[in-house]
Structure 1
Amino acid sequence: MELKSVQPRRLYHLIGDQIRAYIATNHLSTGDRLPPERDLALQLNVSRPSVREALIALEIQGVVEIRMGAGVFVRSIAPVPDALRDKIGDSPSDIMQARSAIEGCVASLACARLTDQGLARLQALVADMRRAIAQGASPVEADRQFHICIAEIAQNAVLTRLVGELFDERHAPIAQKLRMQTENASTWSAALVEHERIVGALCARDPLEAQAAMRSHLRASEARWVGSLISGR
């Protein structure tokens, strides 16, 4: 018998398996409503954000349908191909926690190596974000360049690569689905204010404040990104 590689299971996959088992065990059919998110979290002994990620993954797979303000409903009871399950992406919560750990340290390092040129570039990127938001456009590219710029100021090529790779995880299917439902002018405006605080801490050459400002920003981003998607649930 040929051995196959063992793939680590993402938490939202495990929760999704439990929800599919619940659908089967309770003989739910297309159109039936699932229990509220808070009840699922309590029964599974996991956080509500983890349940939200699992439900988003199941929606991508065609198992459930999330109706804003109404709840989550069974869409299909057909098996989900492994190939589809494996292409959804990493947990957005895990990504943001990793970014907070790495980029907090990056911001601290950048304080000691910030030049007038680097500061001017950061300020220009903040201005680009502000302009895009005012025009109703997405400031995502300026946002990406802002975070990469700080890593470049820290003068560490490995960290710069990691910052870019983690940021680009937002294009994975599960992250993209969340972004479509949570990003708007209001959330981007909040992120802009947080970017301004980061720049202020860097300008003051305060490594502890820069680290705190970056981690605060990414924790707030996580809360906005993996916030409640189902009203009243």
Structure 2
Amino acid sequence: MSTMQPIQPIAKDLLHEKVSDAIISYIYRNGLKIGDKLPGERQLAQELMVGRNSVRLGLCQLEEAGIIDRMVGKGAFVKREVNADSIQLKLMRVNYQDLLEIKISVERLAIQRAVERASDQQIAHLKDIAQRLCDMADEGRFSVQLDREFHIALLECGGSSTLTQLVLSLIDSLNSFTKILGNVAGIWVKTIPFHMDIVKALEQRQVSYAVAAHEYIYRYDLEVLNDLAEKEIQ
């Protein structure tokens, strides 16, 4: 049996993404097959020269991508064979903060269009969703699905199906990413009042008001990603 090639240490920026790439590279270079076991978290942390939290986040990302399975008390196992051109390998290099900034820029354009084009019926529908979000927030609850419905309705007010599909793709990617943080509802609940502010801005046809409210939501979204970055370096 040939000697296994070691996992190479990585630089300490964008740790969880680099951990994911390093593990994928390890699977590929060593020809691991479906069902083969990966090194344990402690060994990975030592060989990659990163904290165990970064290893866990990297493994979570690989699990989300369907590349590995994680079994409590047993470890992580290869679920899908990878190759050098694997789409997952490319996806792991995505900078999610860049994704957020792209989402915000495109959504801002959609909001500007919505202020000009939204019908009274569309605004009423948007207001109903915002009110339901507010009712949940009063109880300290946040619904990712309802928030997604709000953004769909807002994008539809802008009248561009292309912008709608683009932003929804970004929203889903970001939601998948932040799932590994656990319970972030405490942060996102703070964004709810600004959702209603956007509705009021549409009612008054005030572009600057709508964009300002949207900017506050962006700041809280950024806080979530910063929270992830802090966990990576612990």
TM bracket (short chain): 0.5 to 0.7
Q: Distance in 1 between matches of 2:69 and 2:165?
A: 36
The structure 1 residue matched to 2:168, chosen from 159, 164, 176, is: 164
- Please say if residues 133 and 147 of structure 2, whose CA atoms lie closer than 8 Å, have aligned partners that are also in contact: yes
Matched, 1:128 2:138: no
Q: Which string of whole-angstrom CA distances, capped at 9 and with x for unpartnered residues, describes residues 105-130 of structure 1?
A: 11111111233222221210011212
Q: Which runs of 5+ in 2 are unaligned?
A: 1-13, 27-38
SS at the partner of 1:230? Answer: helix
Q: Distance in 1 between matches of 2:119 and 2:202?
A: 10
Matched, 1:151 2:155: yes
Q: What is the 5 A alignment of 1:1-233?
A: 13-18=17-22, 30=40, 32=42, 34=45, 40=50, 54=58, 56-57=60-61, 81-82=81-82, 86=87, 91=94, 92-134=96-138, 139-169=143-173, 174-175=176-177, 177-178=179-180, 181-184=182-185, 186-225=186-225, 227-228=227-228, 230=231, 233=234
- Please say if residues 24 and 82 of structure 2, whose CA atoms lie closer than 8 Å, have aligned partners that are also in contact: no
- Please say if residues 129 and 150 of structure 2, whose CA atoms lie closer than 8 Å, have aligned partners that are also in contact: yes
Superposition RMSD in Å: 4.5
Name the count of aligned residue pairs: 197
Q: Distance in 2 between matches of 1:176 and 1:227?
A: 10
Letter in 2 for 1:187: I
- Please say if residues 125 and 145 of structure 1, whose CA atoms lie closer than 8 Å, have aligned partners that are also in contact: yes
Identify which of structures 1 and 2 has the higher relative contact order when contacts are C-alpha pairs closer than 8 Å and 6+ apart: 1
Q: Percent identity?
A: 23
SS at the partner of 1:190? Answer: helix
Q: Which string of whole-angstrom CA distances, capped at 9 and with x for unpartnered residues, describes residues 31-56 of structure 1?
A: 52737xxx859xxxxxxxx9996464
Q: Distance in 1 between matches of 2:82 and 2:196?
A: 43
Q: Distance in 2 between matches of 1:78 and 1:121?
A: 46
Q: Which runs of 5+ in 1 are unaligned?
A: 1-10, 23-28, 42-49, 66-74
Task: Classify 1:200/1:96 alpha carbon distance in 2 versus 1 (closer, same or farther; 3 Å).
Answer: same
Task: Classify 1:99/1:215 alpha carbon distance in 2 versus 1 (closer, same or farther; 3 Å).
Answer: farther
